[in-house]
Amino acid sequence: MKKIVLSLLTSFILNTGFCQKVMDISASISPAFPIGALSDYVGGGFGLLGDFQTELKKNLAVGGELAFHKLSEEGYSQNTFFTVSAYALKYFTINYSLGRAPLRPYIGLGLGLYRSQYSDYFFGDDPSQSGIVFSPRFGLRMDVDRLFLTGEGRLHLSTGYADSYVPILITFGYRLYGK
C-alpha cells in the first residue's frame, strides 16, 4: 500500500509541476455491474475512486486514478459465498470535453494496471491475478465556481479471466487552481 501511495503522490507532484492552467482533484462513488463470464458468479457491487487531472489544452485533460471495486454474490450453490475485489492500481486517464459550457459532455479513455482477488468462502479458495485494464468512458460534467459534479459511465475491460464490469460513477471534485 505504501508503494501505491508513493507512486500516486509522485505522479501528482510531477503533473502539477507541468500544469500551467488547471488542476482538479475528485472522489467518486460507483455502483458496478459485472458483464460476460463474471456475471455468472457475482451480482452487483460498489466502488470508490480518487483521481486528479491537469488540463493540457482547452478541452483536453490528462490525469491519474486509484480505484477499488468489490462485487459479491452467492454463487455455485447455496453453501458458497463468492466475492471478487478488483483494484485498478495505477490508472492513466485522458478526457476530451465537447465544449466549454458549465454543463458539458466529455469522452475519455483509461489505461492501467489492476490486481483482483477472488474469495470462495465455502471451498477456501483465494486465487488472485494481475493484468492490464482498458476503460473507455463518457460523461457529463457540471461546473459551479471551483466545485464540479460529474456523472460518468465506463466499460472496465481487463486481460485475464472474467474481470470485466460496468461502473457508473458519481464524482464530486474541486479545482485546486486555474480558471
* Ordered domains of the chain (ranges, CATH): 2-177 (2.40.160.20)
The Cα 106–Cα 114 span in angstroms is 24
Average pLDDT for 131-136: 87
Give the model's confidence band at 150: pLDDT under 50 very low, under 70 low, under 90 confident, else very high.
Answer: very high
Decide if pLDDT at 159 tops 60: yes
What average pLDDT does the chain have?
Answer: 78
Average pLDDT for 6-26: 64
The Cα 69–Cα 78 span in angstroms is 24
The Cα 139–Cα 150 span in angstroms is 7
Number of H helices and E strands in the chain, helices first, is: 1, 9
Q: Find where cell 454463487 sits.
A: 75
* Angle formed at CA 48 by CA 43 and CA 54, multiple of 5 degrees: 135
Nearest residue to 24 (alpha-carbon basis) of 2, 52, 64, 59: 52
**The predicted structure's pLDDT at residue 6:** 58
Decide if pLDDT at 124 tops 80: no
Give the model's confidence band at 125: pLDDT under 50 very low, under 70 low, under 90 confident, else very high.
Answer: low
The Cα 2–Cα 29 span in angstroms is 23
